[in-house]
Each structure stands twice: as structure tokens, then as C-alpha cells.
């Protein structure tokens, strides 16, 4: 899941990605998307056993992303704003940062 923080004076939005470790066998998770040219950005495990990282994305845009678990398994965000088909025959998650008036 993710949360969005809109800034009044900046043309970007801070997105905090989170993925709970729970009792799973996840040893690493990264977020990949248009904001980092689909290069994995590692997420760090915090004290609450939640993998987390923050990125900045342009305001008034729709940005695609996915999670890469254990360097081999792709997953979407179950709470994404929407989903779009990708060239590999599956879907990408979408963050919508279009500010409402």
C-alpha cells in the first residue's frame, strides 16, 4: 500500500510505499516504476516489520509501478488508484497524483 503527501508549494508528491512482512518469507522487496526507470529501489524493514521507502513523483500525473519481491516475484499494490495492462501481459499499479480542485 502507499500514501501520498501533496505539497502546497511544490509540483511533486511524496509517495510512501509500505509492504508488511508479517510471517512471510520475504527477505527483500523493492519498488520499480516510471519514477525510477523501472530500476529497483530497495525498501527497508522497520521496527514494525513493515518494508517502506519514499519517492517523489510529479504532481498532476499518473505513474505506473510494481513491487519486486525477493528479486524474482512481481506484485501489484492491492490499493492502487487504478491498474493498466503492460507489455508483458499483466497489469501495473498506478498512482494518481492529479490534484482535485
Q: List pLDDT tens digits, range 37-63.
A: 999 999 999 999 999 999 999 999 999
Q: Between 31 and 1, where is the model more confident?
A: 31
Instruction: Give CA–CA dist 77/95, Å, rounded.
Output: 10
pLDDT at 24: 83
* Domains, the chain, ordered by start: 2-96 (2.60.40.10)
CA distances from 97 to 62, 67, 68, 76 (A): 6, 19, 22, 18
pTM for this one? 0.91
Amino acid at each position: 500500500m502507499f500514501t501520498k503527501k501533496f505539497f502546497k508549494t511544490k509540483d511533486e508528491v511524496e509517495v510512501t510505499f509500505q509492504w508488511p512482512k508479517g510471517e512471510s518469507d520475504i527477505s527483500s522487496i523493492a519498488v520499480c516504476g516510471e519514477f525510477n526507470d523501472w530500476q529497483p529501489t530497495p525498501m527497508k524493514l522497520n521496527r514494525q516489520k513493515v518494508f517502506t521507502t519514499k519517492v517523489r513523483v510529479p504532481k498532476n500525473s499518473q505513474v505506473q509501478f510494481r513491487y519486486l519481491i525477493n528479486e524474482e516475484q512481481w506484485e501489484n499494490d492491492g490499493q492502487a488508484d487504478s491498474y493498466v495492462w503492460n507489455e508483458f501481459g499483466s497489469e501495473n499499479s498506478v498512482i494518481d497524483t492529479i490534484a482535485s480542485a
